Structure 1
Amino acid sequence: MPSVRAPGCRRHDAVADGYALGVNSSDTDPLVGRLVDGRYEVLSTVARGGMATVYLANDRRLQRRIALKVISPHLADGTLDPEAATRFRDEARAAARLSHPGIVAVHDQGEDGDLSYLTMEYVPGTNLRRVMSDAGALSVGDSLELLDQILGALAGAHAAGLVHRDVKPENVLIDRDGRVRVADFGLARAAHARPGSPGSALGTVAYMAPEVISGTTVDASADVYSVGVLAFEMLTGRQPYAGTDAREIAARHVSEDVPAPSGSCPAIAAPVDAFVEQLTARDAASRPSDATVALGALRSLRSQLSADELAVRAAVDPGTAEASTNGTRVLAATSVLGPTPAATPASYPAGRRTAHPSEDATTLVESPTTPRTGRSRLARPLTWVLVALLILTTGGLTWWFVSGPGATRAVPDGLVGVSSDAAVEAIQASGLEATTVEEYDDDVAAGHVVGTDPDGGTRVDLGGTVTLIVSLGPETATVPDGLVGASEDAATEALRDAGFDVAESQREADPAPEGEVVAVSVEEGSTQPVGTTVTLTVSDGPDEVTVPRVVGDDVEDARAELEDAGFTVEVNEVLGAFLGVVVAQDPNGGESLESGGTITLDVA
């Protein structure tokens, strides 16, 4: 599909945008200037986060610039997670297998002494965070165009069995031609909390799906949720939830539905609201199962919108994309939710580590090491009591509305034209039961879905039944035999009784008796769709022809002339017919006779 230059796009280093929005010109990092693995010359620091540091480097072997990502020391040496470095390498290899024009390519992965690194494609351009910061909010059309490219890239990853898990504006790069490139596939997975840390989850809380927060099974639909949050932010210029810390925002993702974009901009069309609602359903089973399904829904939505609806854009001042309306900061950094790490890695300052709002850093949420006294000490137990109550309340509400008596499921959309087996599977995957009825349909192939009852998108109680209307294909009937030779009325009645329409008959002269069927437009005994129009050809009887006068002619000449005119000739010999001359004829010359009629000649 054609690329689009996002509004407010600035030309600068897209890799840098993914982290600190610029190359550090006064670098003190000891790795700068070093030759890694005898090949990669480190030029400068691009960004530093809790999980890794990214450098701009020169690949001396291929003479090209690349982005060099080095895993942070406390992950590489097992300080925080003994398995993190292994997962980092495994995920790097998985990401390297991806080949898609919308995905930043991973070139290489390796180790050089105490360094564990990977190299990535260098993409000059900008990122979605900077685009939204510059523009405030994007138009519906621009948002859908960018989302189309984002979902296309994710669809390639999902088809390869890889889930991104950290989709956010900083990881959506936009090159200088306006093409989207999704970065950092699999890297979030490489820093999962160690097994045995219940409730821990890595990702950017502002875009994190409820099941990721709750620590349940995560699949491609978690990325779909993150894209839905991106869609909301692109359309409104703000994130759906604001809060003072990651846990507050996480709780809102679990217990609240993402608001409709039209709440911020009433001119946004209702189908756009429905699309965002579909992608951000708290129940993963109610979302599109992966990016491919979501992309189909997006393209269907775009085809429904008028040019005026696509041009709608929320009135948001540029530079406010990360701020909420009440002045609290919305977190944009990747965060680990869960128990506080036992020790602060020596390579980072002690105390609370947070990313600058313009950075895409990995933030480990942990308590300050500075002692608290007085009121802070007294408030601490109360705070934990309140947090516990919030968790219990949230958990209870989540159970009630997700799995309990109050749970509902949306009937899947897009089932018309799908095979009945696939439709049943989709309905059952949504937590509903399916039953089928069959009916004839002229447009939908046999065995495929004509419609559902209730309609797609309707919410049904968990475990409720959806009726699939399955096509039997066009209804058919057999053309009756014996139509040719039958009377026009009898043939017409037989065809109508069999379910066919009968056109006005064609009439032509024919030796057959007048009113007799001499031809049918479809083959007798053949199978045809019910309602097919059949045309009968009916005899008007033979034509009347003027009889030639042959009296006095030689008998053979007379016979030839009469037969050429379409008559049958009978000869009656008189007086031995010695002369061979016609002395009389019946009927006489000049009279009319039906073609094929018989003329008697008297020959003397």
Structure 2
Amino acid sequence: MTTVPSDPLIGQTLDGRYAIRSRIARGGMAMVYLATDLRLERRVAVKVMHEHLAEDANFTRRFEQEARSAARLSHPNLVNVFDQGHDLGRTYLVMEYLPSITLRELLKQQRHLTAEQSFEIGDAVLSGLAAAHGAGIVHRDLKPENVMLADDGRIKLGDFGLARAVSANTTTGQALLGTIAYLSPELVTRGIADARSDLYAFGIMLYEMLTGVQPFVGEQPMQIAYQHAHSDVPAPSLQSAEASPALDALVLWMTRREPDERPRDASEALESLRAITRGEAPAGSTRVLPRISDEGTPTPSTSVLDPSERWAVGSAPDASETAVAPELNASAAASSTAAPIDRAAEAGRVRQRRGRLSALLAVLLIAAAGGLGWWFGQGPGSQVTIPDVSGAEIAAAQATLEERDLVVTLAECSSLEVPEGHASSTEPASGARVDRGTPIQLCQSTGPQLLPVPTLVGLSLEEAESLIEEQRFTVGQVLEQRFSDDEPGTVLAALGSNGDALGDTYPERATIDLITSAGSVPDVAGLTADAATARLAESSLTVDPAAGSESYSSDVEQGSVIALLPQTDPMRPGDAVGLEISLGPELFPVPDVSGLDLQEAMDTLSAAGFTPTTLVPDALRSFAKATGTDPASGEKVPAGTEIRIRSTISL
């Protein structure tokens, strides 16, 4: 039966723990798969050494050394290694799964990076590299392909597949390992690498980030290697306006041909890179750069009432009261000695003063009532309605709220409708009435909520679509069907809107597209070419005569199909295929054994691949000579055919 080539590890579970889901990438030493750690229920990347390399003790030792080297390293800028083992005849390594793009992919998109991007990525790479060098590990294969830019903003250095201990004086022998564009001169000429070789590779990579090109190019790898060994790396400012004199100095220092003239390790290079961001010249540079200083902001002056003034303002009502009291007391004292007329006049004066005081008090009360009305109606004590700022720029939304004397604090919230970075809502909600000075939480949209992605591979199309809706995503379309050993309609892959495989999380209501199985490729072995063509057409496959071939077969009769010849991998409905047609068994001529002793004739026929027979008894064979064969000599028959020897006996 003819089958479509497929990866035998997909669907397998290593050591009863790591369920292989799909293939992520293929490297020179190993294949990388996306898998599920069934014990911890998390996604991991599993690196499986190529089967044909497993028999090579040197490659196996190097692979296991990668596991030990990487497991010793724990740093935010290094890809974590969780486990290592051997199962199903394969040696494997379990690593952190990091949905990301590589620096190489970013360079392809942008051609070159800004100085700020180069600083950020360079700082992360050197930080991780410094941790490796501190642990005595040399990476030996530093290049943009091994720098991971995660979806959540993390930057990590991975693939210590060529790592070696710093103290080990290792050489590559006849073959230089690593990528030729980033090899240091000592690796090219002597095959020896240490921490300073990593810094040379980083210098080349920094040059490429700033300029978008590599400093040395050539049609043949040896031309590039020769330039590394005999030419100085040019200043990146000759190619890019992003490169400052300080960056020129740093690149030239790290790419000096003599290792002793470079930084001793990544920690020294990291300090120099950070010095540039502070406006200082990097170590190893003779150029003095002006220091960047921050401008101070003037301290605003404050004006407060003098304590004496504050107290004077506070005692005014009391002063009015003390001004009235002596008069009342005096009138009361005089009333005991004054004449009645005088007492009446005095009483009138008192009532007049009291009337004026009452009027003044009424005015004060009216003014106070008006002040309170203004305070709580329109002034600082009044309530305000929270406006609807959904969808506004975050700065404009904050200003709108602060204009109403509300105290605004920012928070991040997910939203399906509001674009990322804009205001999505407030707490309390818009429309509510609150006192001025009330704290208000203003939500800045982070876009749709990131939800965990369910396992869809292996489900039927109906089950997958139901689960997608259930997990609050949007069902997309079936992008294509592929022939596989799975039942028709089984989901083989789930892809995001960008066409890439889904990671651990995916935005709420975002579209998920699917790739499904078209079932098995029809078995056409043993059919005639016409019958095979008709059966393949039922599965939307066409036969291309130019892609066919003919072969001898002892098992398949002449003119029938031996096997299907796929032209694509994977095969899809609508693809063209070839047919291998049988020529029948291969025919061989019968040797002429006439005149030979009988035993010699039988040996000759056996050596030619036939089965000789004779009617002469064993006891008389030494007296017999062959006179011919049946079938006759020269006649072509299949190998293994029985050949009867005719003979005569001479006693």
Q: What TM-score does the superposition give when structure 2 sets the normalisation length?
A: 0.41
- Greater share of helix: 2
- Flag the structure with more relative contact order, 1 or 2, with Cα contacts below 8 A and sequence separation at least 6: 1
Q: What TM-score does the superposition give when structure 1 sets the normalisation length?
A: 0.44
